[in-house]
Structure 1
Amino acid sequence: MKVLVVGSGGREHALAWKLAQSPKLQAVCVAPGNGGTALDSRLENIPITDIKALREWALAEKIVLTVVGPEQPLAAGIVDDFRAHGLRVFGPTQAAAQLESSKAFSKAFMKRHGIPTAEYETFSDPVAAHAYIDKKGAPIVVKADGLAAGKGVVVAMSLQEAHEAIDFMLAPDACFNPLGVTHNAGGARVVIEDFLQGEEASFIVMCDGKNVTPLATSQD
């Protein structure tokens, strides 16, 4: 059997490394992979990132399972595309991936379902965002709504820092900025939420819609 891991980071390297230990597998391919996966004789890098091209390659190679790591292809709908063509794929659908790809969506989801979360408001108008910050005071947290490779959050300890974050994230041409923040198709949007003091931790589970299997906890 051949499996495919989508991604180019250390996370995908770890997944591919572990999958390659299974005696059931004939080959583990990584698309596009990285320098580390290229050095592992048990892994094969596939230089494809386009979803359609990768799906056609997976069909031609009779890939039995695809594991998707990065947020970007998940947000772009790779799971939906692969499943629509009969491919087995592990990862959330495009709709479910919004919990990661849109902070505004995830905050609204938590509020709607009674999941505890910091008080917040969402803004696309910088004037309204600045007024809200003046009303709330500092410290306060400003988050770019879209995917930002972990760089889209400013924990502002002063009003000046918070206002500067708004100016940066809601600039007229803020479709893309030097931090790597890519806003959603609807345009620049930020989530401003209360500052909470404490320790961050992640509890990760796998779910098929009925069953839940806990994995290891982690912390950034």
Structure 2
Amino acid sequence: MKILIIGGGGREHAIGKKLLEDYNPIHLYFYPGNGGTGLIGNNINNHYSILELGMFSKKNDIDITIVGSEIFLLEGIVDVFKNFGLKIIGPHYSAAKLEGDRIFSKSFMKKYGIRTPKYEIFSCYQTAMSFLKKKKYFLPIAIKSNGLAEGKGVILAHNIDEAKKALKTIMIEKKFGKSGNKIIIEEFLQGKEASIISLFNGKDIIPFLSAMDYKKIGENEKGMNTGGMGAIVPNPYMTNSVWIDFKKNILEPTLEGLILEKLNFFGFLYFGLMITPNKIYLLEYNTRIGDPEAQTLFPLMKSNFLNIIQSSFLHKEEINIIWEKSCSCCIVLSSKGYPEKYETGKLIVGLDSLQEPFYIAGAKKEKEDWITSSGRVLNIIGIGNTIQEARKKAYDKVKKIKFENLYFRRDIGL
């Protein structure tokens, strides 16, 4: 069997490792991949358009394609591959807008009564500024770019000056490019975040274990948003009552809306949640597996991942996923300066003797040496009976890794 995995980070390395662990006679291809994926499959080094990638897959008899990166989804890769008659996991372009177009997503939530924070939409900087001046009581607020921004297009403003600066950064300076042409000003909710990654087979949404993602670069959730600096599974704040609230007020109306709007697809659906003292709210959808949640979840998945994937293509009615009764903690090792300017090309010491599980995110192998190649470099995983045991194991493993300008958060799982 030949499987193509789209993306080049730790998530894609984790998907590949899990597939090989469950069913070894697989030939893996990665586009573009990284140093880790190159050890377990073939990285496609050529720069391909979506159309060329479809032609490559057809020519090389790729059986299944799994899309990890959101960028490709918004470019319509699923539509193109299906036109080639290829099996691909991910949403078609219209459904991918649930992640790639926040205004589309918020409208969907509103239409189907899915509980989400109050919000206003703006396409004019001056109009947004006028709104802020009139609604000072509304602070603190979250100001969000409309489109994709690698998980970084959200700025939290505690006062009017921070709000003005955020608007200027997004709408005038265009820090997040065209995604800042329209913005959402959203009510800020105090609580604990949760990530629920799930599988959608066009009929049912099957949730995975709950996760907690640490998005900020600084400890105690301070500083800029990143693609994720760590995660724990399960999320200790997802109690039974919170799960019931989530299923009734978020998951079930989401499923209803997806079917009624003909947004059916086979792929992953990520619920970004805020747990407040009284209720749970949906902040955002992602239409792919989260990163680093995937790296934290897969070591706990007892079920055969390839069988889960194939069951939907074979139109099996029920999908049951079995999990280890353990806890997992992921620490992201990054290059100092990420998510802004950072240096690469730094020698990594200790990687060859590192105990599994771990995943390569932004490193490459040059002869016998491992070298940093991106902002997020490695994902180190600890497994234990409790979150405390899992995080201790993870941080003990982190001590074995050294490279110049190494940075990581020390509060993951606290």
TM (norm. structure 2) is 0.49
- The one-letter amino acid of 2:168's match is D
Matched with 2:184 is 191
1:54 lines up with 2:53 in the alignment: yes
Q: Identity rate of aligned residues, in percent?
A: 41
Partner residue in 2 for 1:145:
146
Gaps of 5+ in 1: none
Residue 21 of structure 1: how far off its partner (Å): 2.3
**C-alpha deviation, 1:218, in angstroms:** 2.1
Question: Take 2:133 and 2:186, find their aligned partners in 1: how far apart are those partners?
Answer: 13
Q: Distance in 2 between matches of 1:61 and 1:2?
A: 8
Matches within 5 A, 1:92-171: 92-137=91-136, 138-171=139-172
Whole-Å Cα distance in 1 between the matches of residues 212 and 177 of structure 2?
24
Task: Pick closer, same or farther for the CA change 1:215–1:25 going to 2, 3 Å.
Answer: farther
2:65 paired with 1:66: yes
Task: Give the 3 Å change call, closer, same or farther, for CA 25–91 of structure 1 in structure 2.
Answer: farther
Instruction: Report the 3-state secondary structure (helix = DSSP H, G, I; strand = E; otherwise coil) of the residue aligned with 1:155.
Output: strand
Q: Contact between 1:79 and 1:94, CA under 8 Å: does it hold in 2?
A: yes
When Rg is computed on C-alpha atoms for both structures, the one with the higher figure is 2
Q: Confirm or deny: 8 A CA contact 1:32 1:49 kept in the other structure.
A: no
Instruction: Give the TM-score normalised by the residue count of structure 1.
Output: 0.90
The question of whether the paired residues in 2 share the 8 Å contact of 1:37 and 1:44 is answered with yes
More strand by share: 2
- Name the counterpart of 1:215: 208
Q: Which amino acid aligns with 2:178?
A: H
Offset, 1:74: 0.4
Given that residues 19 and 28 in structure 1 are in contact (C-alpha distance below 8 angstroms), is that contact kept between their aligned partners in structure 2? no
| Matched letter for residue 163 of structure 1 | K
Question: Is the 8 Å Cα contact of residues 6 and 70 (structure 1) preserved in structure 2?
Answer: yes
Give 1:43's aligned residue.
41
Deviations 1:172-212 (A, max 9, x none): x63xx3xxx2425xx71100011110111111211122123
The verdict on how the C-alpha distance between 1:15 and 1:170 changes in structure 2, with shifts beyond 3 A counting, is same
Higher alpha-carbon deviation: 7-16 or 46-55:
46-55
Query: Shift in Å at residue 217 of structure 1?
Result: 2.1
Corresponding pairs, count: 210
Shift of 1:12: 0.9
Alpha-carbon distance in structure 1 between the residues aligned to 2:48 and 2:191: 38
If asked which structure has higher relative contact order (CA below 8 Å, sep 6+), I would say 2
SS at match of 1:164: helix
Question: Residue deviations 1:14-55, cap 9 Å, x none?
Answer: 1111112243643011111012212x2x31111244211111
The residue aligned with 1:32 is: 32
In 1, Cα distance between equivalents of 2:14 and 2:135: 42
Tell me how large the CA RMSD over aligned residues is.
Answer: 1.5
Does structure 2 retain, via aligned residues, the 8 Å contact 1:31–1:46?
Answer: yes
Deviations along 1:54-104, whole A, 9 cap, x unmatched?
111100110000000111100111011101110000011111111111111
Cα distance, 1:141 vs. partner?
0.9
Unaligned segments of structure 2, at least 5 residues: 214-414
